[in-house]
Chains A and B, each alone.
Chain A
């Protein structure tokens, strides 16, 4: 046994020596054939069709809905209400709120400016620490002139901070008691929904200061059938939806607020179906198609996730499709391209893509749970 071991060891030693010699000669040859790799950093390419931002507690994930591929990440504060953009300047704008020691210490609210190329912060504008720290798309609105950003505050009364994102300046805080939601109209105006059942129009001057304020007549009752604080932009203005599923089309003509007669998305006999979720309502402006997450439930179930998506033609006021979903959904958004995609976020954190015109399911994207989606 001992002799065998000794022979075996000698044999192995010889073999190891020869193998080592071979490697010594062979290795330089193989290394010489490979160029050492160098690390590089990507920049964002030209924005493609149907790109969108999936806003999570972790930041804004940018995806191409056509391929499902992630393009990059916007790092945002956990309390960011929403993120928006202005294509001509190739910039994103996000309201953010930070506390110095994570959960205690000095609080700082700001509007951050991120560039398209690197998705990096390029400027920040300090604002009063009154930001409503809720993830709501219409708590942030860039005026249609692309320069003035309006941000909803709660302290706990409502007000709006106006920021000049071009000159990187905080302008001032407008008191708007009892009114929330920011819906930009005209060049430098915005509409708000108010608790007394009216709309409020704030018109800004070129510097961003309030120039005029108009209140509509009462057109809904917040106790009987409240208008949601989630709205959808349409070709003519904005669409409001109530807890019972009635739609109002609203807009302005200079300082006049225009409100259509309401119509219902819920056919007769199906009144137990209600809209609900988080950001559950979206409109494709060119076609006038509305996409709404719906569930069966009683009054006051307006945060229930949808078990179906209803597609309704706002021009004919007819329902075109009911899309049943496996996992109930909280949020959805339709992109504004000619061949749009419907982005759907379910209650378990899944993100799903549909063809928004044929309603065919296309793919599921693996990503952290999204509270809302923003079109790119």
Chain B
């Protein structure tokens, strides 16, 4: 009960402070000042892809080959679960009514089209019954549960309203050669 109370108070404190700070800025800053700052932010955002950490975003899209409904598809090298591409979604989208988990496990898969290694994020889609179509269990780079960021056996429905597992998508986060 103490933990709940502490959490409630913490959330209340954050809300209150955010509200107070926003109102203080609104009172202090003119609209022109705000627009000038916004312009600077946009200019900064344009330069963002030049930074090494964000170079992966410079590539417009990943070249694909193969059948996304097959466990052999290159993106699924460290996948464990059922494929959302067989369940009304795609390899990057959750099926209707399910909720993507923001917390994931990761793997590194080689794309046969360009021979590059890509950093993959495997996000579970949650809040519905398990789809149970196109089951897929690959273990390249998989680690035990105590090393959970690389453990594909964990149910990763964390930070979602409902924690039931439905299916899994695989998103490219970047290439490993870019991160070196």
Question: Quick one: given A133-B155, A154-B154, are A107 and B163 in contact (CB under 8 Å)?
Answer: yes
Give the shortest distance, in Å, between A275 (CB) and chain B (any CB).
13
Cα distance, A156 to B148, chains bound together (Å): 8
Tell whether A239 is near chain B: CB-to-CB under 8 Å: no
Comparing A24-32, A141-149, A188-196, the segment that makes contact with chain B is A188-196
| Closest-CB distance, A246 to chain B (whole angstroms) | 15
Main secondary structure of the interface of A (DSSP, over half): loop
Whether A214 is near chain B, meaning CB under 8 Å from some CB there, is no
- A99 pairs with B146, CB closer than 8 A: no
Give A136 to B154 CA distance when docked, in angstroms. 11
Contact status B156-A103, CB under 8 Å: no
- Judged by a CB distance under 8 angstroms, whether B162 is at the interface is yes
Smallest CB–CB gap between B140 and chain A, Å? 5
Interface size of A as a range: 20 to 34
Known: A103-B127, A107-B163. A193 touches B137 (CB 8 A): no
The answer to whether B148 touches A154, judged by C-beta atoms less than 8 angstroms apart, is yes
B-chain residues with CB within 8 Å of residue A154 when the two chains form the complex: 145, 148, 154, 158
Contacts of B137 in A (CB 8 A): 303
* Across-interface contacts of B139 in A (CB, < 8 A): 300-303
Mask, B145-180, CB within 8 Å of A = 1, is: 111100001111010011110000000000000000
Contacts A102-B129, A156-B103 hold; do A181 and B154 have CB atoms under 8 A apart?
no
- Cβ of B157 to closest chain A Cβ, rounded Å: 9
Whether B146 lies near A193 (C-beta < 8 A) is yes
Residues A132 and B154 in contact in the complex (CB < 8 Å), given A180-B145, A192-B146: yes
Instruction: Report the minimum CB–CB distance from B119 to chain A (whole Å).
Output: 16
**How far is B127's CA from A331's CA once the two chains are assembled, in angstroms?**
30
Pairwise interchain contact A300-B164, C-beta atoms closer than 8 A? no
A158 to B147, CA, bound (A): 10
In the complex formed, the residue of A with least CB distance to B127 is A104
B144 contacts chain A at the CB level, 8 A cutoff: yes
Question: Is A228 part of the contact surface with B, judged by Cβ < 8 Å?
Answer: yes
Q: Given A103-B127, A229-B146, do A156 and B158 touch, yes or no (CB 8 Å)? A: yes
Bound-state CA distance A181–B151 (Å) is 14
Residues of B within 8 A of A302 (CB): 139, 142
A222 at the interface (CB under 8 A from B): yes
- The reply to whether the CB of A134 lies closer than 8 angstroms to some CB of chain B is yes
Quick check: is A266 within 8 A (CB to CB) of the other chain?
A: no
Q: How far is the CA of A303 from the CA of B162 in the complex (A)?
A: 28
Chain B residue with Cβ nearest A135? B153
A103 near B128: Cβ-Cβ < 8 Å: yes
Closest A residue, CB atoms, query B138: A300
> Per-residue 0/1 for A103-118: is the Cβ within 8 Å of any B Cβ (1 yes, 0 no)?
1110100000000000
Chain A, residues 294-333, CB within 8 Å of chain B (1/0): the string is: 0000001111000000000000000000000000000000
On chain B, the residues within 8 Å of A181 by CB distance are: 145-146
Q: Are the CB atoms of B144 and A226 closer together than 8 Å?
A: yes
Nearest-neighbour CB distance to chain B for A195, whole angstroms, equals 4
> Are A226 and B147 in contact (CB-based, < 8 A)?
yes
Bound complex: CA A156 to CA B164 (Å): 15
Question: In the bound complex, how far is the Cα of B141 from the Cα of A195, in angstroms?
Answer: 14
CA distance A188 to B7 in the complex (A): 31
Interface pair B144/A155, CB less than 8 Å apart: no
- Is there contact, CB below 8 Å, between B143 and A156? no
Residue of A nearest to B152 (CB): A303
Given contacts A99-B164, A103-B162, A156-B103, contact A193 B144 (CB under 8 A): yes
Docked pose: A129 CA to B160 CA in angstroms? 13
Q: Is the CB of B146 within 8 A of A156?
A: no
**A134-B153 contact, Cβ under 8 Å, with A103-B162, A104-B164, A303-B139:** yes
Given A155-B158, A303-B153, 19 additional A-B pairs, CB 8 A: A99-B163, A103-B128, A103-B162, A105-B162, A132-B145, A132-B154, A133-B163, A136-B145, A154-B158, A156-B148, A156-B158, A158-B146, A179-B146, A181-B146, A192-B146, A195-B147, A222-B144, A229-B144, A300-B140
Q: List 8 A-B contacts (CB under 8 A).
A: A99-B163, A154-B148, A181-B145, A229-B144, A229-B145, A300-B139, A300-B142, A303-B139
Q: Which 5 A-B pairs have the closest CB atoms?
A: A180-B146, A229-B144, A103-B164, A195-B147, A104-B162
